[in-house]
Amino acid sequence: MKLTIVGTGYVGLVTGVCLASIGHSVMCVDVDQEKISQLQAGRVPFFEPGLEELLAQQIREDRLAFTVDHEVAFAQAEVIFIAVGTPQGIDGLPDLRALIEVARSIGRTVDHDVIVVIKSTVPVGTNHFLSQIIAEQLLHPVSIQLASNPEFLREGSAVYDTFHGDRIVIGAEDEAVAHTLATIYQSMHIPILHTDIRSAEMIKYSSNAFLATKISFINEIANLCERLGATIEDVARGMGMDQRIGEKFLRAGIGYGGSCFPKDVKALLGMADLSGYPFQILQAVERVNRKQQMLLIEKATKRLGKLRGKRVALLGLAFKPDTDDMREAPSLAIAGALLELGAQVVGYDPVSMGNARYFLPSQVELLTRPEQALEGADAAFILTEWEEFTLPTFAPLLLQMKIPVVFDGRNCLDASALSELGIEYHPIGRGMDREMVTTSFQEKGRER
């Protein structure tokens, strides 16, 4: 089919490239001329494993093209997918300006019947709202039907996720529209769930909010494990083996970040608020996440005393490995808090140094090699579980520190390798003082 994708961010580009690779003819449009020029030259403007190879192949095989001209992009389209950003607005709710702009442009431009699919994550009711905007702008007597098709890919494994998704959700009021969309994805052999539009919009937010809840929950269990002398990895494994719980998203750490969980949790809280329903669990999820981001600072202060004047090396700045995305990365809150405490902050990341310079305060010194960041440091914070930190070649670099003390916010280092080198290691959720906690707790019981 002839498909158009509006917006060439993560979702738009990955969707466009993947749909081209299963044989559709795809035209991508973006307002960012520089991005489009890069894409036309076969370059992906962000770090995403496997995407550039697939992009180049689709361009070569003439199934994928790019433009900044909406008229050109819409001219042949049978289905238009909208995947523009819906960033958090000043009131905490998603900013829908880019979507509204695209809806107006579709209304003014399209001169044939077309299905418009909203892929962007949007508050419940937005599809309906956008269909009104399109209708207000229509210059031609055509039928434009809307559908919701939320996206569930993760950055860092976006291409894999697109071909191996657990489900494709299609929100459409019209059976024929749902059928056309199902046909587009047919060769991916992924289960398709057809719902009404509002439920599809809600599935996206509830899924992200539930995953964020899982993370805050396991982080609180980890904090308790430290106090009660248990080990979070064993606890998470034991919980996850119960298929009703599932093993995924039970990695304790310094909290979730990224362009979606923080914003989508806020948006769902905002929607609940506007409808007069206090969403108490989700309020706690957000609070726990904010607190968890400060955990390494608490641990370092306990171990080293006041951090004023101390040199702290932040290793890993992106919000997770295999991406250079710095949006809402825990490193931002941690660096800001350390600077406020008067610490000297240095940072290193294998791929996100360019974005890090743009997102982090200028007082944070960025160094191009981990050993440079570690040299003379009083503390090292591991903030992203990049593979290079887990290799045997990494641990000896920690000996460059003033005193080698590591606070691992992702529990990704090998504790026994560090101990052999005489490096002091502070992971998350691994209780050390089992005896003391157990006896004091049991003694209390005996007293009763």
Ligand X SMILES: O=C(O)[C@H]1O[C@H](OP(=O)(O)OP(=O)(O)OC[C@H]2O[C@@H](n3ccc(=O)[nH]c3=O)[C@H](O)[C@@H]2O)[C@H](O)[C@@H](O)[C@@H]1O
Ligand Y SMILES: NC(=O)C1=CN([C@@H]2O[C@H](COP(=O)(O)OP(=O)(O)OC[C@H]3O[C@@H](n4cnc5c(N)ncnc54)[C@H](O)[C@@H]3O)[C@@H](O)[C@H]2O)C=CC1
Considering only 16, 253, 350, 431, the residue that binds ligand X (CB under 6 A) is: 253
Return the one option of ligand Y, ligand X, none that residue 250 interacts with (CB less than 5 to 8 A, by type): ligand X
Site residue total, ligand X (CB under 6 A): 20
Residue 150 CB, shortest distance to ligand X, in Å, is 8
Nearest to 430 by CA among 233, 286, 270: 233
Residue 109 CB, shortest distance to ligand X, in Å, is 28
Q: Kindly tell me which of 39 and 413 has the beta carbon lying closer to ligand Y.
A: 39
Return the one option of ligand Y, ligand X, none that residue 129 interacts with (CB less than 5 to 8 A, by type): none
Q: Which residues are CB-contacts of 21 (< 8 A; sequence separation ≥ 6)?
A: 54, 57, 58, 63
Ordered alpha helix ranges (H), 110-172: 126-137, 158-163
Residue reference for tokens 């466009």: 16
Return the one option of ligand Y, ligand X, none that residue 103 interacts with (CB less than 5 to 8 A, by type): none
Residue 323 CB, shortest distance to ligand Y, in Å, is 9
DSSP state of 88: B
Q: Kindly tell me which of 151 and 378 has the beta carbon lying closer to ligand X.
A: 151
Is 261 a binding residue for ligand X by CB under 6 A? The answer is yes
Return the one option of ligand X, ligand Y, none that residue 98 interacts with (CB less than 5 to 8 A, by type): ligand Y
Residue 60 CB, shortest distance to ligand Y, in Å, is 23
Q: Is 225 a catalytic residue?
A: no
Ordered alpha helix ranges (H), 186-196: none
Is 208 a binding residue for ligand X by CB under 6 A? The answer is yes
Among the listed ranges 18-26, 147-155, 191-199, 336-344, the one in contact with ligand X (CB under 6 A) is 147-155
Tokens read off for 279: 């969403």
Is 151 a binding residue for ligand X by CB under 6 A? The answer is yes
Q: Kindly tell me which of 57 and 390 has the beta carbon lying closer to ligand X.
A: 390
Q: Kindly tell me which of 3 and 295 has the beta carbon lying closer to ligand X.
A: 295
Question: Which helix (H) or strand (E) segment is 236 a member of?
Answer: helix 232-240
Residue 319 CB, shortest distance to ligand X, in Å, is 4
Cα 52 to Cα 43, 178, 209: the distances in Å are 6, 31, 31
Q: Which residues are CB-contacts of 448 (< 8 A; sequence separation ≥ 6)?
A: none
Cα 250 to Cα 220, 255, 431: the distances in Å are 11, 11, 17
Is 154 a binding residue for ligand X by CB under 6 A? The answer is yes
Site residues, ligand Y (CB under 6 A): 6-12, 29-32, 35, 83-86, 98, 101-102, 120-121, 151, 153, 155, 259-260
Residue 343 CB, shortest distance to ligand Y, in Å, is 31
How many C-alpha atoms does 257 have within 13 Å on its Cβ side? 25
Task: Give residues 155-194 in contact with ligand X (rule: CB under 6 A).
Answer: 155
Nearest to 268 by CA among 52, 94, 435, 105: 94
Considering only 65, 93, 153, 332, the residue that binds ligand X (CB under 6 A) is: 153
Considering only 79, 169, 260, 300, the residue that binds ligand X (CB under 6 A) is: 260
Return the one option of ligand X, ligand Y, none that residue 48 interacts with (CB less than 5 to 8 A, by type): none
Q: Kindly tell me which of 38 and 390 has the beta carbon lying closer to ligand Y.
A: 38
Query: DSSP letter string over 12-51?
Result: HHHHHHHHHHTT-EEEEE-S-HHHHHHHHTT--SS--TTH
Query: DSSP letter string over 162-188?
Result: HHS-S-EEEE-SSHHHHHHHHHHHGGG
Binding mask 114-133 for ligand X (x = CB under 6 A): -------x------------
The C-alpha atoms of residue 441 and residue 448 are separated, in whole angstroms, by 12
The C-alpha atoms of residue 430 and residue 426 are separated, in whole angstroms, by 9
Return the one option of ligand Y, ligand X, none that residue 8 interacts with (CB less than 5 to 8 A, by type): ligand Y
Q: Which residues are CB-contacts of 207 (< 8 A; sequence separation ≥ 6)?
A: 152
Considering only 46, 129, 152, 210, the residue that binds ligand X (CB under 6 A) is: 152
How many C-alpha atoms does 17 have within 13 Å on its Cβ side? 28
- Cβ pair 221, 429 in contact under 8 A: yes
Task: Give residues 285-344 in contact with ligand X (rule: CB under 6 A).
Answer: 319-320
Cα 53 to Cα 16, 136, 187, 297, 351: the distances in Å are 14, 41, 21, 41, 18
- Considering 18, 28, 225, 260, which one is annotated as catalytic? 260
Q: Kindly tell me which of 74 and 81 has the beta carbon lying closer to ligand X.
A: 81
Q: Closest residue (Cβ) to ligand Y?
A: 9
Q: Kindly tell me which of 87 and 361 has the beta carbon lying closer to ligand Y.
A: 87
CB-CB neighbours of 323 under 10 Å: 26
Considering only 257, 316, 409, 431, the residue that binds ligand X (CB under 6 A) is: 257
Residue reference for tokens 């000896």: 396
Q: Which residues are catalytic?
A: 260
- Which residues contact ligand X (rule: CB under 6 A)? 121, 151-155, 208, 211, 215, 249-251, 253, 256-258, 260-261, 319-320
